[in-house]
Amino acid sequence: MPNKLRRFEILLPLRFNDGQPVPDRLIGETIRELKRRFGAVSSETQVIQGTWVHEDETHRDSLVRIWVDAPDEAASRDYFLGLKENLKERFQQIEIWVTTYPIEAL
């Protein structure tokens, strides 16, 4: 395991912006992509409720969190920057929230 790791967390919507449910296969496809790329991925079954404002309009989301612990290097960050743009299209979203922070695995 690399000494320096970085956790990348992604919040994926359970509904499209028009209110229609996101097919389970889209979330599964995303999880499989990450597993192929990094060898492991984690997810929560808990639904996260979010509220945000875009152009003076309040939006409410139901989301799931998935995360990957990846090497803390430019290649990992670049991958997630590209993935974020793909996910915005895949899930038909204005924005997809991706956060990252250093971790230490014992």
Q: What is the distance between the alpha carbons of residues 45 and 78, in angstroms, rounded to a whole number?
A: 27
Q: What is the distance between the alpha carbons of residues 79 and 16, in angstroms, rounded to a whole number?
A: 24
Q: State the angle between helix axes of 24-38 and 74-90 in degrees (0 to 180), rounded to the nearest 10.
A: 170
What's the structural domain count of the chain?
Answer: 1
Contact residues for 100 (Cβ-Cβ < 8 A; gap 6+) = 6, 7, 8, 9, 77, 80
Contact residues for 92 (Cβ-Cβ < 8 A; gap 6+) = 16, 17, 18
**Domain range for 73:** 5-103
Would you call 101 exposed, middle or buried from its count of C-beta atoms within 10 A (0-12, 13-18, 19+)? exposed
Summarize pLDDT for 21-56 with one digit per residue, the tens.
999 999 999 999 999 999 999 999 899 999 888 889
pTM score: 0.90
What CATH number is given to the structural domain containing 10? 3.30.70.120
Summarize pLDDT for 54-105 with one digit per residue, the tens.
889 888 899 999 999 999 999 999 999 999 999 999 999 989 999 999 998 8
